[in-house]
Structure 1
Amino acid sequence: MFSSFMVNAWIVGSIVAIVAGCVGFFVVLRGSSFAAHSLPLGAFPGAAAATLLGVNQIFGLIAFAALGVIGISQLSRRGRHEVATALSLVTLLGLGTLLLSRTTEYSQEVFGLLFGEVLGISTSAVLPVAALGAVSIAAILLLFRPLLLNALSPDLGEARGVRAGGIEFLFLAVLALATAMALPVVGALLVFSLMIGPASAARSFVDRPLPALFCAVAISLATVWAAIALAYVTDWPVGFFVGLFGAISYGLGRLRAWGRVAPRVRLAKA
């Protein structure tokens, strides 16, 4: 489990978990779950474009994630946010279908990008993932207070100079970077579960923002480490375990929240 070829899996998996915990905290806080689900699916065809052009997959993923961010932010100005997200997703998936139809040498890569292939991470992929992870975490730390103000009290944020449109665009850009980085590890279909499950559980267990963010990172790390270990032992896709533990952590968080509310309800009825 800790042999030489597994070192990359542990390093990259840990980086992805830390970033997913940080970004996922604000995904849950801002109610951006649909965007966190759509951007990975919209970015996924970018790998096909990169293959056709003969460049590194990560550049294609970043490019398509950026297109998704631009589409969502521009269309949201004249309509509802969820509609803009859906339209951007449909457009990118349509373009991806065209690109995928132009190559016949992509079946294994498609499987890996859909369901995750952390055990197959090469040494050359570690540096790009680490670089994108560092940028994503630095951006979250830099934007922590504005994002928090905008999510909890938009009016107070506006009064303190936090423009809702600008902070939304910046957050989507960070989410796109995290998506492009996490896709090859946990897959497009399950990257959002790594962001949503641990972060939702953390909000149920911890009330204060900064400790809740650290709690989300800790749960995300535990999820990824357990998923890698079990994928190595069972030879099952790592994405399955990420999705399973993400759902379990979310369920435990809901039980914790219910445990807090139920006594108050009984007291109110008494």
Structure 2
Amino acid sequence: MFDAYLANTWIAGTVVALSAGIIGIFVVLRGDSFLAHAIPHGSFAGAAAAIYLGVSSVVGMGLAALAAAVGISLLGRKRQRRDTVIAPTLVFLLAGGAFLLSLGGNYTNQVYALLFGQVLAVADSDLVLMTALAIFGIIVVAIIARPLLLSSVMPELAEARGIHNGVIEFVFTLVIAAVTTASVPVVGAMLLFSLLVAPPAAACLLCSRPVRAGILSCVFSLLCMWLSIALSVVTDMPVGFFVALTCACIYAIAKITSIVRAR
């Protein structure tokens, strides 16, 4: 389980878990779960196009995730219209990615890896790019943390204090795109959603203060990822399945705990 050939696996999993734990807190506070579900599908379509063209799938993921983030931000400027933009975008990108993969060979294996992750096959070059993107996303969130938090929980007050909610929203959408590009090769486009939402949501149920919730979210995300990698190595089953399972279990335990505490 801790052999040398798995070093990239553990490093990549840790990077993904920490970035998802930090970014996910704001995804939950802002109610952007649907957005966090849609952008990974954009990265899936980009990776499929890159594979078809014979170039790096990670580069394709990044470009497509960026395009999806910018498109959704521009077309859905009003929050009440955003869902109507995200829904058809999500379906189109997922179907387009599947179509592009079907044009090439080895369709089943490529779809499987992109949708459900391939944490045991992270190359050194991909690991460097993934880490750089994750660090970039964390740094940007740290810089805009105060206005981002205020615009997330009290957007009217943020506007009154001179914070441009539209700009903050656009920057945060780009951060989600960066974290998506870093995470999809590990957990897959379909299951990144669970890592970005379930551990942070569980942390928010147990902690009322954002800083404590962020720390607990990282702890939950690391626990989910490390346990999932261990189970994947032992059972030779896809890591994405265990990520979804452990995330669901942690959220269920947190929900039950919050109900008991309230009583």
TM-score by length of 2: 0.95
Q: 1:98 to 1:235 in 2, by over 3 A?
A: closer
Q: What is the Cα deviation at residue 106 of structure 1?
A: 4.1
- Paired residue for 1:20? 20
- Of 90-99 and 185-194, deviating more is 90-99
Q: Which has the larger radius of gyration?
A: 1
Q: Is the 8 A contact 1:71 1:88 kept in 2?
A: no
Task: State the Cα RMSD in Å.
Answer: 1.4
TM-score by length of 1: 0.93
- Paired residue for 2:41? 41
**Corresponding residue pairs, total:** 262
Q: Distance in 2 between matches of 1:87 and 1:12?
A: 31
- Paired residue for 1:80? 81
- Paired residue for 2:11? 11
- Paired residue for 1:109? 110
Q: What is the Cα deviation at residue 77 of structure 1?
A: 2.8
- Of 250-259 and 14-23, deviating more is 250-259
Q: What is the Cα deviation at residue 113 of structure 1?
A: 1.1
Q: Distance in 2 between matches of 1:122 and 1:65?
A: 21
The Cα offsets for residues 155-184 of structure 1, whole Å up to 9 and x where unpaired, read as 111122221211111111100111111001
Give the aligned residue type for 2:218: V
Structure 1 residue 61 corresponds to structure 2 residue 61: yes
Give runs of aligned pairs for residues 102-251 of structure 1, distance below 5 A. 102-251=103-252
Q: Is the 8 A contact 1:198 1:250 kept in 2?
A: yes
Q: Is the 8 A contact 2:101 2:111 kept in 1?
A: no
Q: Is the 8 A contact 1:118 1:185 kept in 2?
A: yes
Give the aligned residue type for 2:259: W
Give the aligned residue type for 1:58: V
Give the aligned residue type for 1:77: R
The Cα offsets for residues 194-243 of structure 1, whole Å up to 9 and x where unpaired, read as 11111011111111111111110111001101111111111111111100
Q: Distance in 1 between matches of 2:163 and 2:216?
A: 26
Give the aligned residue type for 1:100: L
